[in-house]
Amino acid sequence: MSLIRLNSVSKSYDANRVLRDVSFRLQAGERVGLIGKNGSGKTTIFRMLLGQEQPDSGEVDVTADATVGYFSQFSTLSGGMSIREILDGLFPEVHAVDKELREVEAAMAEAEDIDKLIARQSELLEQMERIDGWTYQSQIETVLTKLGFSDVHARRPVEQLSGGWQNRAALAKILLQDPDLLLLDEPTNFLDIEGLAWLEQWLVKLNGALIVVSHDRHFLDSVVTRVVEIENFHLHEYAGGYTQYVREKPIRLKRIERQFQYEQELLAFESEAIRDREEARRNPSDHMKRKLANIKRSVEPRPVDRILTGIYRGLSAPEILCRVENLSKGYDGQTLFSDVGFEVHRGERLAVVGPNGCGKSTLLNLLTDAAEPDTGDVRWGRGDIPYAYFNAMRDRLDLNDTVTHVVNTSGLGDRAPRKQVNRFLSLMRFSEMDLRQQIGTLSGGEQARVALALCLLSGAPLIILDEPTNHLDLTSSQVMERALAHYPGGVIVVSHDRFFVDKVATRLLVFEEGSTRLRFVTGNWSTWQASHDGA
């Protein structure tokens, strides 16, 4: 029996259609990845399943006695209780049984006829076993530990936690509630790579059903059993994970004879990345040689590549973009990293990876003069503007300006052919209406895309990005990846998106837990993992 059913559902907002005559079924135990460009209707479907909105036509049916849990990147907890107290309160039946058990045991010490008490004790012990009453505390500790909570954080009132920690607290709560239907909207944004790996394992073992919206392609591949894409107001379903979707969608497009040139080429890029990952796992020692051979192979440029080549034509950068020497930083007597030294050369794309709180963002702050190092210094190559920093670009956006004006009057947008710049913005999912809007009227995710476009079109020798995929849909992420691959300068990027790191990085800077020394690895995420697993 289906847990949820959408029958011929249509939905519009004013004159803007979102869904047209869509139908969908979800059984208990299924795990669905819901994908589609921003504004395609993913949140609308969630809101209808939660009963917060009604369809214009059709039916949305959730099984009457099913429990539904919802978590988004904006979910938080508040109040004076600690997260450990909140999670402990999710098990009232366990506490009730435990209380009665203690009462029975106390009564047995004084009773002359204890047969009834022994019988009741046996019933309570069986009930405790059935509801996992003996293990619930270890479940709480596992969730807290894997989501990165220290004992200090776990005991602190949640109202005193930062927004990111409150978000993780909300995720911990929804996971332990174990609803029949779990709706997750971008659950990975505040997690480090270790937390992501644990969350994937937890979700695979769910008893109930799952629908997840995520831009993390590795996460989708690891978790979901089906991909549902919202496209042109309709739902298109693909069995398997994200890799299978990438392989099957071109077949569907060909079968129905619809030629979406840009989209097909981006799917081809994804297929290339998937083949690279598989090759790295099979034979890590030969992977870099094979990758270099592929780069040298003569191929016909794809349209996205032609657009980027036209925009970046004539852009040059010095050989050494950045030199870091003896850099150290700590807070409150605790050293984050020490004696860090490296150079970034033209054409290099350095991905900075590691657990949350290890110092990745602090390193970017030191590179961009947002903080002072304890020791060492940072030297830049020639150029009036040595780098374009995503966070600073976003903070400096003029909310009264329009998208098209700010893009076309700065950096390469002012020098490159207007037609190519506009085609690039179209690939980044900016519509004609978006381009004419004031930036202040856009959503936070749309403003982040404007800042990212400005970075990619800055013409600076070095682009510095901090979690750039967090506010992008899959297609925008793919376009950004192609732009970074073509960029004549260099890139430094902090990211927990393993698929993105695989496609972009030529070198990794790895923060390892418990160490103040940083490790450099040649290659991408898959080559590092393959060598790490083989060690």
Q: What is the pLDDT of residues 454-471, one digit of tens each?
A: 999 999 999 999 999 887
Cα–Cα distance measured from residue 36 to residue 129, given in angstroms and rounded to the nearest whole number: 43
Same domain flag for 232 and 335: no
Q: Are 146 and 50 in contact (CB under 8 A)?
A: no
Give the residue from 235, 259, 283 where a domain finishes: 259
Q: Which of 222, 181, 173 is CA-nearest to residue 200?
A: 222
pLDDT of res. 421 = 87
Give the residue from 259, 282, 308 where a domain finishes: 259
**pLDDT at position 487 over 60:** yes
Cα–Cα distance measured from residue 451 to residue 462, given in angstroms and rounded to the nearest whole number: 15
Same domain flag for 373 and 250: no
**pLDDT at position 294 over 60:** no
The tens digit of pLDDT for each residue in 39-76 reads 889 999 999 999 999 999 999 999 988 999 999 988 88
Same domain flag for 349 and 464: yes
Instruction: Look at residue 43 and tell me if it is in a domain.
Output: yes
**pLDDT at position 342 over 50:** yes
Average pLDDT over residues 80-93: 90
- Across the strands, what pairs with 322? 344, 380
Instruction: Look at residue 384 and tell me if it is in a domain.
Output: yes
Of 228-232, 287-291, 392-396, 478-482, minimum mean pLDDT range: 287-291
Same domain flag for 328 and 395: yes
DSSP calls for 343-403: EEETT-EEEEE--TTSSHHHHHHHHTTSS--SEEEEEE-SSSS-EEEHHHHHHT--TTSBH
Pairing of strands 507-511, 349-353: parallel
**pLDDT at position 295 over 90:** no
Same domain flag for 382 and 524: yes
- Neighbouring C-beta atoms of residue 194, cutoff 10 Å: 16
The pTM score is 0.73
pLDDT of res. 124 = 82
Question: In Å, how far from its chain's centre is CA 230?
Answer: 19
pLDDT band at 299 (very low <50, low <70, confident <90, very high): very low
Q: Which of 371, 399, 405, 384 is CA-nearest to residue 318?
A: 384
- Structural domain count, the chain: 2
Instruction: Look at residue 102 and tell me if it is in a domain.
Output: no
Question: Looking at residue 336, which CATH number applies to its domain?
Answer: 3.40.50.300
DSSP calls for 242-259: HHHHHHHHHHHHHHTT--
Of 52-56, 240-244, 431-435, minimum mean pLDDT range: 431-435
Average pLDDT over residues 315-322: 90
Token match 């059913």: residue? 5
Q: How crowded is the C-beta side of 531, counted as CA atoms within 13 Å?
A: 12
Token match 């350095």: residue? 350
Q: How crowded is the C-beta side of 105, counted as CA atoms within 13 Å?
A: 8
**pLDDT at position 131 over 80:** no
Q: If you average pLDDT over every residue of the chain, what do you get?
A: 86
**pLDDT at position 534 over 80:** no
Q: What are the backbone dihedrals phi and psi of residue 101, each rounded to the nearest 5 degrees, phi first?
A: -60, -45
Instruction: Look at residue 527 and tell me if it is in a domain.
Output: yes
Helix and strand totals (H; E) in the chain = 22, 18
Q: What are the backbone dihedrals phi and psi of residue 227, each rounded to the nearest 5 degrees, phi first?
A: -110, 130
Amino acid found at 410: S
pLDDT band at 232 (very low <50, low <70, confident <90, very high): confident
Same domain flag for 333 and 471: yes
- Which H or E run includes 334? strand 334-345
Domain that holds residue 43: 1-67+179-259
DSSP 443: -
pLDDT of res. 287 = 53
Average pLDDT over residues 191-195: 87
The tens digit of pLDDT for each residue in 92-126 reads 888 888 888 888 888 887 776 787 888 888 888 88
Q: Which of 481, 478, 436, 475 is CA-nearest to residue 463?
A: 481
Give the residue from 216, 231, 259 where a domain finishes: 259
Same domain flag for 495 and 395: yes
pLDDT of res. 308 = 85
* Residue that wins the pLDDT comparison between 194 and 132: 194
Instruction: Look at residue 429 and tell me if it is in a domain.
Output: no
Q: Which of 272, 317, 280 is CA-nearest to residue 299?
A: 272
**Residue 288 tokens, joined:** 């870099």
Same domain flag for 244 and 326: no
pLDDT of res. 196 = 92
Pairing of strands 507-511, 490-494: unpaired
**pLDDT at position 277 over 80:** no
Cα–Cα distance measured from residue 308 to residue 290, given in angstroms and rounded to the nearest whole number: 25
Instruction: Look at residue 166 and tell me if it is in a domain.
Output: no
**Coil vs helix vs strand at 61:** strand
For residue 13, count CB atoms less than 10 angstroms from its CB and return exposed for 0-12, middle for 13-18, buried for 19 or more.
exposed
Same domain flag for 361 and 480: yes
User: Percent of the chain beyond pLDDT 90?
Assistant: 45
CB within 8 Å of 370: residues ≥ 6 apart: 364, 392
**Coil vs helix vs strand at 182:** strand
pLDDT band at 284 (very low <50, low <70, confident <90, very high): low
pLDDT band at 236 (very low <50, low <70, confident <90, very high): very high
Instruction: Look at residue 123 and tell me if it is in a domain.
Output: no
Instruction: Look at residue 140 and tell me if it is in a domain.
Output: no
pLDDT of res. 57 = 93
pLDDT of res. 292 = 47
**pLDDT at position 286 over 70:** no
Average pLDDT over residues 86-95: 89
What is the end-to-end Cα distance of the chain in Å, rounded?
47
pLDDT band at 303 (very low <50, low <70, confident <90, very high): low
- Which H or E run includes 261? helix 261-282
Same domain flag for 363 and 508: yes
pLDDT of res. 50 = 93
**pLDDT at position 420 over 90:** no
Cα–Cα distance measured from residue 163 to residue 143, given in angstroms and rounded to the nearest whole number: 18
Same domain flag for 238 and 387: no
**pLDDT at position 321 over 60:** yes
Question: In Å, how far from its chain's centre is CA 55?
Answer: 29
